Amino acid sequence: MTLESTFSINSRSYTSAFNINIINRILVAIREKGRVNRTNLAGMAGLNYNQCIKYVNLLRLLGWIDVVVDDSYQIVITEKGIEIIQRLNLQ
């Protein structure tokens, strides 16, 4: 077994790991609510908590959402996230 085969990335499985319709539901839900916690966001997006966290991590990495930590963990949409909704014409 070579190093390359051990660490190769199957781009098909990687890209199918995330669904644009779910991303749309998450972004729209956050935009409509303003601030939302992870548990409520999972319910609003129709995901289980662990799936929701995967999407939150991705969207935060992309800069489409941000997290506000005060007395709780609240998720907010960024200007970039709003722009993405508009550019993709998702709603």
Report the pLDDT value the prediction gives residue 29, as an integer from 0 to 100.
Answer: 94
Domains defined for the chain, CATH in brackets: 12-87 (1.10.10.10)
Instruction: Give the side-chain half-sphere CA count within 13 A for 39.
Output: 2
Instruction: Tell which residue, 86, 70, 77, 71, has the closest CA to residue 56.
Output: 77
Tens of pLDDT along the chain (91 residues) come to 444 444 444 444 445 578 888 998 999 999 999 999 999 999 999 999 999 999 999 999 999 999 998 888 899 999 999 999 888 764 4
- Tokens in use for 42? 């999972």
Residues 22 and 52: their CA atoms lie apart, in Å, by 9
